[in-house]
């Protein structure tokens, strides 16, 4: 019979306001969250769930939950979240969860008592036998804060390792080919663990009233692992299974240091210039701000004063410092209460080079199927020359890829599809080719070519030798070369199977999580099932390491690819006439084919195209722009009504085609624009940054940049509806004027920018110049976070190619607007 364990006696909550209206515990310098956030739906473990601690403004602890491994990885099992209850009167937060496959329901409760915060794991049923010795309550501590810190284990002094060096043990039933896998052994074990002992800014004490606590280092198994405190759940017990008291220093006088945010590149003389000051919620208000001009002969305070109060947003209060009247070109700094920010410029050419690193560095580094060299540095060899095998049917894969019941091609599962090993970019911080990203990127690069004719030449691209050299001109416009590179991959898909596919992705998680030179992920030899697993012959090998092509036909992808190819045809006319002609002919054929048949509605995740009405409108509009054939104007009108809910996404194209549309179109377009602007007005007004800040699992810089691009196009068409300042607001946001900190979200652009990011080199805690990160992730209910000390938060720090292409456009739009003003 299971033993029922009663909870320990506790004191009543100390203060009514410790459990806030927002649904978490809060004291000066310390917030304790209990399942305010849930795991990321794409990758299970995003380090944003369970019991979490924000200590002196920094989130240092996360993932307090029952897990089935001492150091679980991103894709390992998690409990299913059922519901959360906040009892403010009783001072308790309760989360109900379940491991449904094992029939194990449990709850986690949190309350404040006289000794800290009492966290319990409770269950009305005993632990299933299958989970005995497997399930435990884990709490994770970020290594960037705790690596190298002191630790006390039942009073015994320890040092937490800066680099993972803890011991592992061999497990004979593991998943490796030789049947063995390594599991970490504890660094230490006890009933009282003090993390970062003596450091009042980071110290956290955890005491177990029952089962002991083991300390693990998750980085031995994966670079994105954290330090883990873990107590196994006892068998044959009900009621309270694990009870921990968590305490940390609370300083009643502590307040978060102010953040002065502004455009890190600076300002053109004629435009508005407003810095935003972010203050602790308990601050009495803003102090003195100075704008100082830096000269060879000394400094001059050109403006000083008290910033104007704006109000509260999220968990902070804000004020603004307007220095728009300052127009003299020069080098400036902002000083707030004695602390200076990095220098910025005021000048006519302040934005002229804002986009160049993105085109010069980021896009070449992302080029798949190419050797990429920069001076003495090789970014990567020519990878994936063995692309690709047909994905197996009825298969759900990682990273939101899925193959349906048939291949929809002439190829059998795991048969090599020839011709896919050309062109394309790594989609993001990983190495797959996601078709939706490819054609979206091509379209935005073409839009930059159409509107700004960027002829910059700083990159040598040699497709015959599969070699790219950064900082080496070759007499050809880099923008056209990048458009051609993306177009070549789109062609490869149509040539290989007759239609656009979802993409090409690694066959297993070992390859998917590969960090290092992409060339080393496979043997780069085409798989031949007739050879033994270690045999090689004539450019073939028996090793089953080739990437997989996911090919279930989806009409959204066909329309989207047709739009990309139609756009590419315009930009490539003066670069490669044959390529341009093929692009246009393919786009026309694909569009006509889709219009003549019932749509293929296969859909999965974010790999099968955008909403069908959106993709159809884009295809018709791009074909109209390229051909000027009135039949596509008719197709635009047919697609218009269903595409209107996505007006922000279609606005740039909808405006570009105005001269080619019939009478009455402008009135419809203006009406839609007015509705879109009114819909966004409230969201823009919520924050002092005058942009819409999204609150999803992926941070919102992409949305801000996309809306700013749409605003620019709308401003060119209807300047009375959209002022130029709205475009600058979006540009300022991505370059440093946003919540949380003031770093430019474009690596290497501005005096202070993102230098730790989720790129393919993230294991080195480094960056790729010109890459744009998603930015401030709003963790529920009110915490903006973008970490510069930990690159592995993909929702905050992962580069993606469409956002980089949009940023190239926005930077040029901002420069042009400034010149026009």
Residue 183 pLDDT > 90, yes or no?
A: no
Give yes or no: residues 359 and 341 share one domain.
no
Give yes or no: residues 389 and 523 share one domain.
yes
Contacts with 362 (C-beta within 8 Å, 6 or more apart), sequence order? 747, 768, 769, 770, 771, 799, 804
Q: For a pLDDT cut of 90, what percent of the chain falls above it?
A: 91
Residue 121 forms beta bridges with which residues? 108, 242
- Pick from 135, 108, 146: which is nearest to 211 by CA? 135
| Separation of alpha carbons 754 and 774, rounded Å | 11
361 DSSP 8-state letter: I
pLDDT at residue 176 in the model:
44
Q: How many domains does the chain have?
A: 3
pLDDT at residue 2 in the model:
52
Task: Provide the CATH number for the domain around residue 173.
Answer: 2.70.98
Give yes or no: residues 23 and 121 share one domain.
yes
Chain centroid, CA 675 distance in Å: 29
Of 577, 610, 643, the domain-final residue: 610
Mean pLDDT computed over 583-603: 97
Phi, psi of 381 (to 5 degrees): -75, -175
Q: Are 249 and 29 in contact (CB under 8 A)?
A: yes
| Separation of alpha carbons 430 and 762, rounded Å | 10
Residue 679 pLDDT > 50, yes or no?
A: yes
Give yes or no: residues 174 and 286 share one domain.
no
Q: Which two tokens stand for residue 697?
A: 């699992």
pLDDT at residue 181 in the model:
75
Segment 316-343, tens digit of pLDDT: 999 999 999 999 999 999 999 999 998 9
Which residues constitute the domain of residue 90?
Answer: 3-247
In a domain, 80, yes or no: yes
- Pick from 236, 241, 278: which is nearest to 256 by CA? 278
- Pick from 508, 541, 510, 538: which is nearest to 523 by CA? 541
Residue 473 CB neighbours (<10 A):
12
Task: Provide the CATH number for the domain around residue 314.
Answer: 2.60.40.10
Q: Which two tokens stand for residue 567?
A: 């756009």
Segment 151-172, tens digit of pLDDT: 999 999 999 999 998 899 887 6
Kindly tell me the burial class for residue 820, based on how many C-beta atoms sit within 10 Å of its own C-beta (0-12, 13-18, 19 or more). Answer: exposed
Kindly tell me the burial class for residue 15, based on how many C-beta atoms sit within 10 Å of its own C-beta (0-12, 13-18, 19 or more). Answer: exposed
Give yes or no: residues 405 and 453 share one domain.
yes
| Separation of alpha carbons 600 and 609, rounded Å | 12
Give yes or no: residues 323 and 416 share one domain.
no
In a domain, 501, yes or no: yes
In a domain, 305, yes or no: yes
Residue 338 CB neighbours (<10 A):
8
Mean pLDDT computed over 532-560: 96
In a domain, 467, yes or no: yes
**Residue 262's pLDDT band (cuts 50, 70, 90):** very high
Q: Is 559 helix (H, G, I), strand (E, B) or coil?
A: helix
Q: What is the mean pLDDT of the chain?
A: 94
Q: Are 38 and 273 in contact (CB under 8 A)?
A: no
Residue 574 vs residues 356, 453, 455, 565, 744: alpha-carbon distances, Å: 22, 12, 12, 15, 35
My answer on whether omega of the bond before 111 falls inside 30° of 0, hence cis, is: no
pLDDT at residue 172 in the model:
65
In a domain, 42, yes or no: yes
Residue 175 pLDDT > 60, yes or no?
A: no
**Residue 74's pLDDT band (cuts 50, 70, 90):** confident
Give yes or no: residues 69 and 127 share one domain.
yes
pLDDT at residue 12 in the model:
36
Of 560, 582, 610, the domain-final residue: 610
Mean pLDDT computed over 601-606: 94
694 DSSP 8-state letter: -
Chain centroid, CA 205 distance in Å: 32
Q: Are 266 and 728 in contact (CB under 8 A)?
A: no
Give yes or no: residues 305 and 435 share one domain.
no
Residue 374 pLDDT > 60, yes or no?
A: yes
Element (H, E) at 175: none
| Separation of alpha carbons 181 and 490, rounded Å | 40
Give yes or no: residues 290 and 144 share one domain.
no
Residue 442 pLDDT > 60, yes or no?
A: yes
Give yes or no: residues 44 and 146 share one domain.
yes
Mean pLDDT computed over 372-400: 97
pLDDT at residue 11 in the model:
37
Of 610, 643, 666, the domain-final residue: 610
Residue 33 pLDDT > 50, yes or no?
A: yes
In a domain, 371, yes or no: yes
In a domain, 108, yes or no: yes
The residue with tokens 């006892």 is 234
In a domain, 575, yes or no: yes
Task: Provide the CATH number for the domain around residue 406.
Answer: 1.50.10.10
Give yes or no: residues 127 and 232 share one domain.
yes
* pTM, 2 dp: 0.96
| Separation of alpha carbons 766 and 387, rounded Å | 29
**Residue 820's pLDDT band (cuts 50, 70, 90):** confident
**Residue 486's pLDDT band (cuts 50, 70, 90):** very high
Give yes or no: residues 274 and 186 share one domain.
no
């Amino acid at each position: 019979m299971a033993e029922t364990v009663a909870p320990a006696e506790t004191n009543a909550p100390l203060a009514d306001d410790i459990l806030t209206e927002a649904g978490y515990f809060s004291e000066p310098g310390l917030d304790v969250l209990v399942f305010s956030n849930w795991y990321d739906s794409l990758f299970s473990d995003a380090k944003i769930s369970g019991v979490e601690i924000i200590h002196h403004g920094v989130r240092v602890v996360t993932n307090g939950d029952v897990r089935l491994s001492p150091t679980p990885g991103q894709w390992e099992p998690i409990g299913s979240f059922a519901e959360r209850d906040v009892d403010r009167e009783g001072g308790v937060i309760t989360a109900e969860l379940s491991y449904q496959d094992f029939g194990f329901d449990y709850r986690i409760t949190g309350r404040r008592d006289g000794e800290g915060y009492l966290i319990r794991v409770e269950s009305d049923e005993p632990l299933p036998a299958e989970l005995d010795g497997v399930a435990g309550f884990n709490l994770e501590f970020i290594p960037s804060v705790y690596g190298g810190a002191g630790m006390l284990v039942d009073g015994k002094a320890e040092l937490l390792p800066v680099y993972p060096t803890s011991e592992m043990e061999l497990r004979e039933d593991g998943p490796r080919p030789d049947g063995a896998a390594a599991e970490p052994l504890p660094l230490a074990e006890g009933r009282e663990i003090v993390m970062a002992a003596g450091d009042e800014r980071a110290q956290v004490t955890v005491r177990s009233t029952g089962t002991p606590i083991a300390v693990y280092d998750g980085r031995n198994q994966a670079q994105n692992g954290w330090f883990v405190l873990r107590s196994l759940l006892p068998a044959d017990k009900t009621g309270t299974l694990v009870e921990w008291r968590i305490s940390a220093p609370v300083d009643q006088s502590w307040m978060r240091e102010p953040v002065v945010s502004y455009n890190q590149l600076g300002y053109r003389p004629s435009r508005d210039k407003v810095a935003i000051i972010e203050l602790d919620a308990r601050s009495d208000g803003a102090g003195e701000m100075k704008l100082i001009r830096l000269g060879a002969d000394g400094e001059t305070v050109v403006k000083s004063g008290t910033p104007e109060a704006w109000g509260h947003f999220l968990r902070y209060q804000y004020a603004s410092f307007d220095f728009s009247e300052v127009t003299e070109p020069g080098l400036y700094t902002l000083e707030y209460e004695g602390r200076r920010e990095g220098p910025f410029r005021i000048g006519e050419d302040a934005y002229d080079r804002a986009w160049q690193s993105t085109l010069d560095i980021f896009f070449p580094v992302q080029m798949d199927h190419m050797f990429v060299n920069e001076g003495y540095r090789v970014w990567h060899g020519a990878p994936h020359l063995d692309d690709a095998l047909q994905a197996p049917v009825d298969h759900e894969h990682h990273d939101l890829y899925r193959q349906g019941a048939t291949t929809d091609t002439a190829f059998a599962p795991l048969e090599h599809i020839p011709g896919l090993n050309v062109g394309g970019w790594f989609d993001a911080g990983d190495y797959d080719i996601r078709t939706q990203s490819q054609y979206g990127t091509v379209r935005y690069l073409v839009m930059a070519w159409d509107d700004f004719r960027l002829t910059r030449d700083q990159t040598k691209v040699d497709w015959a030798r599969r070699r790219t050299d950064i900082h080496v001109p070759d007499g050809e416009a880099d923008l056209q070369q990048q458009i051609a590179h993306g177009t070549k991959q789109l062609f490869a898909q149509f040539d290989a199977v007759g239609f656009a596919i979802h993409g090409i992705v690694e066959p297993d998680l070992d390859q998917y999580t590969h960090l290092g030179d992409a060339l080393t992920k496979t043997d780069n030899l085409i798989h031949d099932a007739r050879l033994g697993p270690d045999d090689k012959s004539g450019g073939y090998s028996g090793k089953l390491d080739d990437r997989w092509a996911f090919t279930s036909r989806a009409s959204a992808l066909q329309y989207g690819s047709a739009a990309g190819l139609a756009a590419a045809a315009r930009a490539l006319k003066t670069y490669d006439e044959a390529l341009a002609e093929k692009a246009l002919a393919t786009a026309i054929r694909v569009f006509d084919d889709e219009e003549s048949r019932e749509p293929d509605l296969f859909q999965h995740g974010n790999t099968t195209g955008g909403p069908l009405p959106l993709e159809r409108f884009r295809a018709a509009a791009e074909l109209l722009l390229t051909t000027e054939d009135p039949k596509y104007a008719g197709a635009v009108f047919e697609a218009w009504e269903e595409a209107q809910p996505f007006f922000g996404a279609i606005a740039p194209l909808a405006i570009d085609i105005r001269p080619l549309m019939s009478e009455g179109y402008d009135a419809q377009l203006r009406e839609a624009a007015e509705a879109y602007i009114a819909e966004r007005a409230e969201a823009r007004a919520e924050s002092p940054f005058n942009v819409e800040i999204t609150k999803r699992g992926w941070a919102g810089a992409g949305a801000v940049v996309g809306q700013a691009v749409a605003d620019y196009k709308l401003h060119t068409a209807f300047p009375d509806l959209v002022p130029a300042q709205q475009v600058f607001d979006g540009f300022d946001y991505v370059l440093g004027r946003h919540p949380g900190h003031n770093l430019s979200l474009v690596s290497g652009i501005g005096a202070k920018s993102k230098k730790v990011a989720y790129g393919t080199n993230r294991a080195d805690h480094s960056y790729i110049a010109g890459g744009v990160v998603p930015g401030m992730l709003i963790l529920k209910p009110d915490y903006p976070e973008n970490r510069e000390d930990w690159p592995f938060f993909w929702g905050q720090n992962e580069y993606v190619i469409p956002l980089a292409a949009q940023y190239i456009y926005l930077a040029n739009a901002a420069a042009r607007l400034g010149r026009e003003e």
